[in-house]
A and B are shown apart, each in its own frame.
Chain A
Amino acid sequence: MVERISLTDMNAGETGTAVEFIGGRGVHNRLCALGIRPGKKITRVNAAFGRGPIIVRVGSTQIALGFGMSYKVIVEVER
């Protein structure tokens, strides 16, 4: 079944679809500029170290997101 979770709750290696971002225009624009947009497939690459950054793969790009920023990215995963 499909679950809506925050990027921080994804497992390393898991793939989901970005659905929305919590936060204002600023956060939205910064994420979009790097290609993380609603509807995009996102794969989490690493397991975070404490509250360290999370790396995701979108298309052929890898992007590092701070823990706080990752928390704002809501994805749908099949579990």
Chain B
Amino acid sequence: MSQAGYVFAYGMVTAVATALGVLPFAFVRQISPRVIAASNAIASGLMLGACFGLVAEGAELGTWQTGVGGLLGVLFILITQRLLAHSDAGFGDVRGAGARKMILIVVVMTVHSIAEGVAIGASFAGGVTLATLITVAIAVHNVPEGLAITAVLRPQGTSLASCAWWSFFSSLPQPLVAVPAFFFVDAFTPALPYALGFAAGAMVFMVLVELLPEAYEEGQRATVGLLVSLSLIAMVAFQRML
């Protein structure tokens, strides 16, 4: 296989891993308001925890660049949200506020995969061992990201297969971006801290403006608080371990 083929295949592994995130939902039969609150809470915790890793990684490459990227990410969600609010966009059979949130999470997670694609491609420049390490790390942490997407899509009546597809889709930028990032590593590397910061800003803002308010509305404060905190800590500890 050519080098480009390797890079693409490695990126593809991480994308497929994302689809595994639907598995826990195979065991949830009834989607009640309590399940919606719990799903939103878990997705919030996982996404906030993921930001910890994005920022830590970005800051190692450039603190200010990561900071600027973060502000741009927030701005991006603000604008996307406004655009969606004024359009009659639907997601599958869903319309209105539910569809808006579904589109937003798929967009946010897809955009944030670009940063991870750059990371995979750039890591190949440091040798195959490093690349394998980074790819495994990204693949493993993609599973809870698929879970986060499913946690938002599934309560709106999306089928498990569609949830798996959208999870996979959200990670497609990883193989697609990894290849050019590998060939033009000198051009892509300076952009990495901006991209990581952007992903973190977009994810935190999405959680705070959409997911958490709904979780508190639908569920009990103590339960939501527990679920967010536990999933957040689990995600942070998990990233520190890798």
State yes or no: do A and B come from one complex. no
User: Which residues of B are in contact with A by a Cβ distance under 8 Å?
Assistant: none
